[in-house]
Structure 1
């Protein structure tokens, strides 16, 4: 009897499960009745959408007006208000631009001061460098470098330049000239051989 009772319970529960399955898949849909809260949320969402759409349209119209478009339907008060808005915006932009330029000027002046100080420091170092002797060897105590004077040279390497009185191209010592003049210097002119 136990088995029979158990099979009856299983059979009945299976029938109920099949009925629910058929209702869900093949039966007509149950009417979905929204709750009051859902209706209130939907209504407030629609109102918010309409407000945002009106605000967007107003901003688009204002932007066109600021750009100088669609000014015909505006009244004189609206035109004066638009003019005040443009003036205040222009003043604000000029103020920001002026502040930016002043900031840049201050930065450039500080850089100029820094470069001027660096230049002075380098000039002092350069002046000190000409006064102090130059040492290649740090162990050497004193090196004498005299920039303006030449050291005396040995006589064997120094030969003063003497000029040759006559410069003749293609002149060979054994040949006589066609003009019959001597190639040597005279008292009046050193280059008589060149004259006709």
Structure 2
């Protein structure tokens, strides 16, 4: 398995998607006001949506590429290989680095913009982009963990819980809710008249035998 090749593919996907959207936005801001109206270009307040959608598309593409590559391999993912892919994903979806890059990008095109001064992101927009980055990072890392067969097999239940709840807190919450609902369902079945009648019939059958 060539993990360097996989990392190169992930980097290429990231660069391709980023380049396409940045070119689109650059053209939008360098158009004249009349041209923007005639072409029905997206308004400035859609910047956050554009980037959040881009992050989600990269997330899905990364997961598909990782599954495609690792499913072809006859060997399990080594600890070193898993660390290498995690490092690549963490670097791509790093919140501070990503937001800083966006701010620099808009500062750059601000000097050539034909519109007024560009102020594309308010705190709420940055929060939404950060949320999209965290979600994408968690989902991709969770996918990698599915192929990491080099984790200790003798982990206790508490250790397993800590491991996977750290990877994806939402998964932990979902597990709690599922266990709670299962408990309620079992309790309801036990208290139901049908179940009680069934138990009585079994008891009579055993007594008769």
TM-score normalised according to structure 1 size: 0.24
Higher helix share: 2
Larger Rg: 1
